[in-house]
Amino acid sequence: MYSFFKKYAPCSARRCAAASPGPARRHAAPPPRRPAAPPPRGPAAPPRRRLVRPACSPGSSGAEGGGAAGRGAATALLAGARARARALGARALAARALGRGAMAKRAAAGAAGAAGAAGAAGAGAGAGAGAAGAGAGAGSPRKRAKKFVAPKGPMARGHTPRGEPPAGGAGRLKVVAWNLAGLRAALKPEKAEILQRVVEAERPDILCISEHKLQTQHVPDVEKALAEVLPGYTAHWTVSTAKKGYAGVAALVRSAAPGGPAASAAAKKQDFFKKASQKKPEASGEGGLRPKVFAGVGAGLPGGAANAAWYNEEGRCLTLELPELFVVTAYVPNAGTDLKRLNERIGEWEAGMNDYLAALDALKPVVYIGDLNVAHQDRDIWNCGAPHVPKSAGTSPEERAAFPQLLARGFADSFRHFHPDADGCFTYWSQRANNRPVNKGLRIDYAVVSRRLLPGQGAATGAPVVFDAFHLDRECVGLSDHCAVGVSLALK
């Protein structure tokens, strides 16, 4: 009898529970309790709805009562999740009203998560995102700057047709400047062929070389090599005495007609360390030029001497005086890593050179040519919007603002005069980044001229006229990380 009662007592208890709702509650398993939601930080959230566990209806079986209790527990959990989603959504709306954008984002994210758990993630996420956006607008936070995206693929180069000389039998003068980043390396056979090809194609009257990196003892041997590669030119030098294998500029002046005999041995053996001859510059004879040459900023003025400044000890400037004009070639100091030399570059070099050029311009027109180490306009920088550009040498705001100060003193950027809207016209490309094949570079080499040399400016004074300003970026590939730039003038 005891075993019988033990076996069937649970069923009878469930039948009793079906007949009497009170006792059945002791045997029905209560639904699991979830931890209470934390109190809202904003306005009070709506009160939680009290959940009532459904009891078995009278007359139903025990199995049916247990199933109803399970369904009731699931319904209660779902209702609780939806209630919490509504509460978090209310918090987001309250945060929007108070202008607390950050709180609105957190509340909206919580609302989206709770709604997803309840089976309505899409609708909850949309409402939360709208509330967060409105809250952020009400709070007026600082706008996040757009991230710079570098252009993909090669950069197109603008069309820059070469200028034609004016009609008539006037003489012409072509000046070309090229940063070779080491002249001895440029005279090695594989690179000397490129140098020779460019010079033979352009036939410049004056070829200015920047950053030759020679020391005094190197010059005689390099002159012999140059005479073999570029016959018919006389070399004038200034070298760095402050640092070995550093900076330095040179000017190769045509001493014979293109294709004619080479310069005389006496001309080649001139001592470039002595002061320039005090004779007046002679006009071209038998197709050659005999300029008066001065080394250093300040040396080309009447009775003047080179400034006692650090940049003259680095061999950065040569001045050639011709009967019609001055040609000043320079290798402008780089501001350096982390712009360490920026103050020296702006406060000393720019001030000294600008005054020097203005003083020369008061005597004769000036052609100022070479590696000027500054990218003036935005179109002169391939990645102008990149965040590192203002912190880099040659593209800092201070250097770019100093260039127009020179132009304001009566000078003009000859290339931009003829090609003001040409994009993708660069003169330097990083070899480390292999930017030359995709044309991603900087325009930092210039031919700046006195404004009265431009067409229509100096007709009344009889000054020479610039008719062409050009970049040789397609012709100079393979020798240096710079290309040659030049200017052509018609002499009266």
Domains, in order of start, for the chain: 2-25+58-139 (no CATH), 172-490 (3.60.10.10)
Q: What does the alpha-carbon distance between residue 308 and residue 4 come to, in Å, rounded to a whole number?
A: 121
Tell me the pLDDT tens digit for each residue of 159-207.
Answer: 999 999 888 767 899 999 999 999 999 999 999 999 999 999 999 999 9
Q: Kindly state the tokens that stand for 366.
A: 């000036």
The Cα–Cα gap between 374 and 429 comes to 14
Average pLDDT over residues 276-288: 50
Query: Which pLDDT score, from 0 to 100, does residue 408 have?
Result: 97
What single-letter amino acid sits at 334?
N
How far is residue 274's CA from residue 74's CA, in Å, rounded to a whole number? 102
What pLDDT, on a 0 to 100 scale, did the predictor assign at position 104?
44
Which pairing describes strands 172-179 and 206-210: parallel, antiparallel, or unpaired?
parallel
Instruction: Please state the rounded mean pLDDT for residues 234-262.
Output: 84
Kindly state the percentage of the chain with pLDDT values over 70: 65
Is residue 443's pLDDT more than 60?
yes
Please name the residues in contact with 79: beta carbons below 8 A apart, sequence gap of 6 or more. 49, 51
pLDDT at residue 90, as a whole number: 64
The pLDDT score that the predictor gives to residue 150 is: 74
> Do 446 and 380 touch, CB atoms closer than 8 A?
no
Sort 459 into a burial class: Cβ within 10 Å, 0-12 / 13-18 / 19+.
exposed
Question: Facing residues of 330 across strands?
Answer: 317, 370
Confidence of residue 213 (pLDDT cuts 50, 70, 90): very high
Q: Where are the beta strands (DSSP E) in 85-171?
A: none
Q: What residues are annotated to the active site?
A: 331, 371
| Residue 396, CA atoms < 13 Å, CB-side half-sphere | 20
Q: What is the pLDDT of residue 34?
A: 64
Question: What is the rounded distance in angstroms from the CA atom of residue 381 to the CA atom of residue 375?
Answer: 7
Range with the poorest average pLDDT among 282-286, 374-378, 447-451, 463-467:
282-286
Closest by CA position to 384, among listed 149, 109, 213:
149
